[in-house]
Amino acid sequence: MRAWAVVEYDKPLQLIERPLPTLKGTEVLVKNKFAGICHSDLHLLEGRWKLDDNGNSLQVHSPLPHVLGHEMEGEVVAVGPDVPADSLTIGSRYLVFGWIGCGTDPKPCSCCRVGTENLCTKGMPQKFTDGKSIYGGYSSHVVVPHPRYLIDAAKAYPNLPDGLGCVYMCSGLTAFSALKKVGEPPNGGSEIVIVGLGGLGLQAVLLAKALFGCAPKAVDISPEVRAE
């Protein structure tokens, strides 16, 4: 397994090699084909979370080296001994849901029990987002703990361009979740206002058009962004 890892904070990623793991239980080995870059990855690479413009930050305390990347798309190449034979197709393309909680535990927390694993009270959804895993998106392979965290892109979304689905696993889900919480506007999508047109905001604009049939309003402090 080859990976571009954080070996030293605030320094360029370095290429490291590790042996491929022996899969246990319901684990699935995915060969990464695409990985998105999230802004949170940049903070983890720097070793601190910027809190404001006054120099205040929260330091990252993760063992080194670690591999970033929680927006992943790839090919299933191997499964553990407890994975049902008909649950996955070896060689097929899958998207990896990175917000993994304790849903497969014998006694999951109250959030994971109802399917909201991103709110896991045990803190486990940080598996791919806190830099503590050696198997992140910036590696040749990733170990996924259970098939339930894989989406069969080839079957469910055959027209989805390669490499686009991995981005939907973070920024897409974030924007989609916010729009679903808003609900159906009484007079159509033009009543929705998207604040900020960065990566998430642009996803929200496109998703709002698809969900509600027309473009939402959008605001941004940058004249250049507004002009586009």
The dihedrals phi and psi of 162, each to the nearest 5 degrees, come to: -55, 135
- Per-residue confidence of the chain (228 residues) as pLDDT tens digits? 999 999 999 999 999 998 998 999 999 999 999 999 988 899 889 999 888 888 899 998 878 888 999 999 999 999 999 999 899 999 999 999 988 888 888 899 999 999 888 888 887 655 666 656 667 899 999 999 999 999 999 898 989 999 999 999 998 999 999 999 988 888 888 899 999 998 899 999 999 999 998 889 999 998 888 777
pTM: 0.87
Distance CA(65)–CA(191), nearest Å, equals 47
Question: DSSP for 146-177?
Answer: -GGGEEEHHHH-TTSPTTTHHHIIIIIHHHHH
Distance CA(18)–CA(16), nearest Å, equals 7
| Cβ atoms of 30 and 17 closer than 8 Å | no
Q: Which residues are paired to 72 by β-bridges?
A: 35, 96
* Secondary structure class of 45 (helix, strand, coil): helix
User: Omega into 12 within 30° of 0, i.e. cis?
Assistant: no
